[in-house]
Structure 1
């Protein structure tokens, strides 16, 4: 059904423009005639392409073909755009009394206003400070009229309307926050190359101008101006395909190159070792310099940013320099020769030629060994490939004229584990790192490695939106709103909030463990898939809770898919359902692998069914890829979704365990906490052999973990048969009225279920005061399986001022629930494993741990808790995000104090590629411990002092010997409804309200 569109608020909602006056509503389409598009391309040829793109959008919106012309002759409304300084546009501005002087000398800005043409007709005029500023004005108009940036790349179809009206107020756009903003197409042999060569451009059979034109169009719509072309194409490099460079210039974009591809070259295809010799500046200097000089001669007329320095072919270390010191000295010579050559060939002062140096991987040690980078060269700081920026500029580096930037990944191939298939970098983490970068003046260049573009669409837009207007995103809450607006823009306001919630929860789950890391494998060296580390025995079955969370997301996604109109189903599959379904299936596959193995050891008859689940999940993964490549959008994306990147074991069909069962009969029970009870084999006490078995296999008298009135919650008991052919009736009868069981009776059999999970809880309104015990009397197959239930005395009755208590030998405290938080800490809601983190001020100065006066003023936060365990030692696990030191002048340290004991220093600094770093980036958690604590039963307080900027604390876990360990955060042992402490007398403390 055609609809009316009144596009007057959208841009303001996205904080893109600032209106300075109001001229009323301007109708561009009244149902009859599409507006005429007039463009003035004097000294700005890309504006012709902008006119064509706007015409495409208006034709789809109105059903009428707009006239694209060089003058405004004719009838009906008019849209005019061009450079503010061009004679035609300047005359029109003067005639209408519109002041464009504020655009003079500005970078990529524009003005917009309703004007009157000489013949009296109204027109919408877009006048730019420069070519790209003008184009951004056109793109903003298109988006304001309801066209999604993803109308082609994600099939968000343009819907026809019966009226288009826009605000005619005079307005001026903001100068972009980051000067150069763009994307890096990388590891394109996985998806982009197969799609481009087989589907989008089969005649060329490569990634050529036809494909790049679509990439550039997307960049326009996202207001990106810089690109690093693909470097791993199977056939030819970007430079070797006629028309690629020319197409980039026709779109007015800045061409640059990756950290490994110097001076506009792509070495992996362009340097032939057999005919050109080694790519070695020491042994083959003249040939290497000529190679670079030829590139500048050929493409130097274009708008380029030149990567300077030198690395080896295909992202490898520089040849001929064996130590960081040798490499530094060699690079200084390379800089000098490259810059002399650039000045000679471009006939321009070299300090006016955009250049960038990226201290990536092994290059950073060379930089740290004293490498002198020319002052006007931009320092481009990379992340560690997993979303954590390796370093930002210190005060001295921030004074450099070349400024700094960031190279960031949402896709990566390499050590320790690749993630090329699904894009699951958490938006909150991206905000935390990139906002911090912006605050440290990394404002010259932002590049995001987007892999094959799909399925990283949302993260790509988020990154570029933050780069364009960083002020619009002051906190994590603004990122959540951005996701909701993005979902609403693409699927409608009615479903936007639901879609955003599904995607945010998916990012939360992936933050605990990226779906592509669920095999616990590595890329280099390639290792086989193994079981996960999610605890099935404790914490309500961490394995099952994660599986259920993904199942819920998949179910909600499927329901939404059914309810959406037909013209949004393809887009929804690409942007939402496919990534959700694939993440769900991968987790089902790996989590059920755990169950199949563990349950086979327990001799559960159901073990084989979980083995079949593994194969079913793999079949859904393969079906999802097949649908994406063959069905979605009528096969438009055939080849784009490679389902087995680099043939790594994780992506291949797994070998599912098979359990045929034994000759045993009867029922057995497994109680939460790790007690396995079999009426046929259980014996009083345990042998030494049994005590050494893993918890999931141990035979013991079953007993559920104790219930605490302060914590509430439930516990589970699994009943199961060991023979697939057996049938067993069961009953579960509490011997106390305050014990509640989810089911009272049932049947176990192959025709119904082979196992049943019973949930046990307490009716606290009728439960007795103090410690007490009861029993759930289970009869299964005629045999008794009694399950003791314990309610413990509340420690807070003796110490009512604590907020956390010990339960099951563990005290779990989430950082954001601190009792007191001092100045210098802030709560970042939405980031981390527990829903929020405490982060120390990113601009604080590092504190010398030996300076007692400075230490006393360090930002501090405290948590009050109580314990009941006697004699046994405890370990305090301090869990933070694996954020790297902010600058070369910082580390990542905190000082920990328990009660009045001496402070203990914990240093979380972990060099990239170290064993500690390897573990941390796969779990998004950095853990340091205070061990062998001897705590008396009763109240205690733990205080954390921040010693460095940007430390992000997620949680604290105090565990006594024998306590269970969760892979993710253990459920918090926070007192329900506890009143937080009054603010301390110290003026630098404030009360935190939750």
Structure 2
């Protein structure tokens, strides 16, 4: 049974680096597991080196030092003695706590630890690299630091969290995962622990405040917390289980991940009211507290207002009550480290009334400023009080319409609820004293809380824009119930901790390092897990599981649905192979973090596609309809079995609106009468690429649906598919045998005969060309005859026309070749790339729906300016076409772009240009304009830009002849992300992902 955190997904999962050494992610290591000539022992020969800390250091540092001691014991089974040192002892001629020891570990905060200050004075240690720098630290070996001590390994923080992060950084390198409690990650045993004498160090983080927001925490996280941290009774005011026992575990996790900031659970909770100790312990641990974008002045609104105040949430008519309410919140938070949210929104994460105007909201902020002066004192510099204004939804519209706040207030820019930041600071906004930040989260058009579906490459792409545009004061990520986004949450915070560690080329190293740290994997196993995680999040981000349906993937074109199922099968086998090899103590963590998401996601994919096939087969009068219905029901039950295995209480299949449903819902299925023959006879023929079926009438055979000609299939010498298939199925309970005869010897049939019965109601026949070199150039025709023999019935025959198009290339051509009437190109597979002004198109590996993506780099290249079409860096793709649309000389180019929003101001919308040969480049500004504070109409909805995970932009070109050509993509604006390009020469068919990549010669 999964322990502690495993039980979280009893209620959680259904609602919703690179290692240079040791076990650290994204950090230079100084830990060794055996002695070297210059190393310092932490544990050696069964003995642990004592640890000294100063009595006058921060309580949170002393608490973290206790964790540090426990972590060493977790790893080695040896527990160091931790001594709280006093100034008097420092001044004595000996060090009693270290008597008999020639070496000790000394931990403390520069300027806040008399012990560390004494060591610095005695050894003349150079601490200039960290002094006065936010959350910085260093560690190193020193000689004769104190009386009676020959040598010491000192761990020094520039401030409270600098010391805490230094301790946890060492613990992570020892092998203690930040998720040891929350995800049951085991700690590998080591008999020895040593550190390099030169130690470890880290400067100020890239992002000053790095945090998480618990949101949509009902019912999953709340029910689990009620079970884990209470006797079944929540707080008196709200019945909330989120007490200091819960939050203390969360505070520790945040700090171990190198985060420092929290927006607490809000929907059925009130942080400061649920447990009066919550605020104290946040400050004690060292976590800065804030409240969400809709909860001003450290009050949990609307909950606290509804409980403690009277009247409406109406600043025009009830402002005296509201101001007192806010004043009380500031007074309550004043003793603690807080980041105040300013402004005002409506109750329950809604806009204010229609009467709201900028003058009123500016008055709100002015009055909040006066509240700070009243609470902190008129002489207090309130610009030093951390304050932010979240530009979320309609609030961004207020800003766009001219509303302003004091320069010292942080502007917290928001995403679109789907990881696409709506705007970043433009040049004139980047030097505000309050700085800027990003609120990153989930929501409309559909919450995606069920299972991990966020690509790390996508997070990196968006947040690297935030780094380049100096939105680095605050990053806050909405993690929902925290699970199942552990890995992605850690990357978000890790990237904010040190953005210089990560670049487009090494993002997979994060997952590899994470896999080694969490599961003690070999290099090859870690690479396998990297591929598993990459494919899992790719498949789930193509279209969130909550928005998938039975026809998302084409059931008839490009074998799309079949390829999706095959990919899930391969992924499940790879995950199972790793899972089966793991020790029993590691399996629970792997199941939570990797294996369950794979199993559950694959099962949902199978269920939905099988439901689509079921409905299709029913329309084709095939008996296999019923087998597919049985499969859907089986997958539906498997989902529940996985749910039980993960100790879940709810599941999120069958979403109808933004929130999870109250019960699971199986996708619609149908059945055919298994005892009755189809009107047209025993045999049903379904050629690849059509929803029709023969013989008899079917509305999908031809336009009129009756008296349709025989079906046909087309083979192409440059198709990505070397064959075509024809399904032979039962039209009822009667068994039959069949044969296939070809009118031409150049066709290969496999098999040429078979049998179909109620127990085996379908068989697939593949058709291919034996040897293309033996065919004449152009169109070659043949006829297949399928003949069925059934007991007591006359033979039934169906003919299928076969067209084999043989095309030839001129000698020496290199590039992509048209097949099946289209040319499909992964954007990264260029023939040539040209740079301009130090800017080039750079690949983002593992990004997007199919393989990767490309984007201009550096993000602020060319001085942050744009290019005119044709003057900037270009991507070039040589291709050869044999056709144009209906022989007209026209083709269309469909570019699949990431659904990014504008990284610049309104006068510089995202743009790129497409060109073929020397034809004029065609510029596309592909994100429609929208009113301030809103998104384009095409953005949301179940089939909008974000739901589809691409914006498909169609460009038309005329005057092309068959032959060799070059397509060029020109950069105009930065932050454009291109995934795939499709050139339609007349044969492009509907599909979700587009045709597979064309052959390249």
> Shorter-chain-normalised TM-score: which range?
0.7 to 0.9
SS in 1 for 2:492: helix
C-alpha distance in structure 2 between counterparts of 1:137 and 1:562, whole Å: 36
| Equivalent residues in 2 for 1:590-989, closer than 5 Å | 590-629=608-647, 646-648=659-661, 651-661=664-674, 662-664=676-678, 665-674=681-690, 676-679=692-695, 688-690=703-705, 700-709=709-718, 711=720, 713-723=722-732, 725-732=733-740, 739-751=747-759, 753-764=760-771, 767-768=774-775, 770-771=777-778, 772-774=780-782, 778-781=786-789, 783-797=796-810, 801=813, 803-823=815-835, 824-828=839-843, 829-841=845-857, 842-843=859-860, 854-865=868-879, 866-869=881-884, 870-872=886-888, 874-888=891-905, 889-910=907-928, 911=930, 912-918=934-940, 919-931=944-956, 933=958, 935-959=960-984, 963-975=988-1000, 978=1001
Which has the larger displacement, 81-90 or 824-833?
824-833
Greater RCO structure (CA 8 Å; 6+ sep): 2
- What CA deviation, in whole Å up to 9, does each residue of 1:313-342 have, x standing for no partner? 2111123634xxx2x222222221112221
The offset of 1:418, in angstroms, is 1.4
> Match for residue 76 of structure 2?
62
> Match for residue 551 of structure 2?
532
C-alpha distance in structure 2 between counterparts of 1:652 and 1:968, whole Å: 26
> Match for residue 91 of structure 2?
none
Pick aligned residue for 2:510 from 467, 482, 485: 482
Distance 1:141 1:668, change over 3 A: same
- What CA deviation, in whole Å up to 9, does each residue of 1:504-547 have, x standing for no partner? 0111212321222113xxxxxxxxxxx423111111x2111112
| Residue 426 (structure 1) aligned with residue 458 (structure 2) | no
The offset of 1:81, in angstroms, is 0.8
The offset of 1:241, in angstroms, is 2.2
> Match for residue 469 of structure 2?
440
> Match for residue 503 of structure 1?
533
| Equivalent residues in 2 for 1:39-188, closer than 5 Å | 39-71=53-85, 72-73=97-98, 78-85=104-111, 86-116=113-143, 118-120=147-149, 122-188=151-217
- What CA deviation, in whole Å up to 9, does each residue of 1:97-151 have, x standing for no partner? 4222322111101111123454345432211110100011100111111111111
Root mean square deviation of aligned Cα: 3.0
Distance 1:100 1:571, change over 3 A: same
Distance 1:17 1:794, change over 3 A: same
C-alpha distance in structure 2 between counterparts of 1:846 and 1:876, whole Å: 31
The offset of 1:469, in angstroms, is 0.8
The answer to whether the 8 Å contact 1:813/1:974 transfers is no
- What CA deviation, in whole Å up to 9, does each residue of 1:356-393 have, x standing for no partner? 11110111111100111211111111111111110000
C-alpha distance in structure 2 between counterparts of 1:381 and 1:186, whole Å: 18
C-alpha distance in structure 2 between counterparts of 1:334 and 1:146, whole Å: 49
- What CA deviation, in whole Å up to 9, does each residue of 1:161-206 have, x standing for no partner? 3222222224432221111111111111132111001234335531
The answer to whether the 8 Å contact 1:582/1:621 transfers is yes
The answer to whether the 8 Å contact 1:417/1:517 transfers is yes
SS in 1 for 2:391: coil
> Match for residue 244 of structure 2?
209
Distance 1:289 1:218, change over 3 A: same
C-alpha distance in structure 1 between counterparts of 2:581 and 2:284, whole Å: 42
Pick aligned residue for 2:437 from 405, 422, 425: 405
| Equivalent residues in 2 for 1:140-289, closer than 5 Å | 140-205=169-234, 206-233=241-268, 236-272=270-306, 275-289=309-323
C-alpha distance in structure 2 between counterparts of 1:576 and 1:464, whole Å: 20
- What CA deviation, in whole Å up to 9, does each residue of 1:209-267 have, x standing for no partner? 1111111111111010011111112x554434221111111101111111111111111
- What CA deviation, in whole Å up to 9, does each residue of 1:396-416 have, x standing for no partner? 00121111111112xx34x32
C-alpha distance in structure 2 between counterparts of 1:738 and 1:115, whole Å: 82
Distance 1:776 1:152, change over 3 A: farther
Distance 1:732 1:687, change over 3 A: closer
Number of residue pairs aligned between Structure 1 and Structure 2: 926
The answer to whether the 8 Å contact 2:142/2:153 transfers is yes
Unmatched segments (≥5 aa) in structure 1: 1-6, 520-530, 630-637, 692-697, 979-994
The answer to whether the 8 Å contact 2:207/2:473 transfers is yes
C-alpha distance in structure 2 between counterparts of 1:62 and 1:442, whole Å: 42
The answer to whether the 8 Å contact 2:41/2:49 transfers is no
C-alpha distance in structure 2 between counterparts of 1:652 and 1:245, whole Å: 42
Distance 1:686 1:834, change over 3 A: closer
Distance 1:909 1:273, change over 3 A: farther
TM-score by length of 2: 0.87
The answer to whether the 8 Å contact 2:25/2:510 transfers is no
C-alpha distance in structure 2 between counterparts of 1:35 and 1:625, whole Å: 46
SS in 2 for 1:318: coil
- What CA deviation, in whole Å up to 9, does each residue of 1:917-938 have, x standing for no partner? 1100011111222358464444
Unmatched segments (≥5 aa) in structure 2: 1-18, 86-96, 235-240, 790-794
The answer to whether the 8 Å contact 1:28/1:35 transfers is yes
C-alpha distance in structure 1 between counterparts of 2:326 and 2:714, whole Å: 69
Distance 1:846 1:66, change over 3 A: closer
Which has the larger displacement, 566-575 or 739-748?
739-748
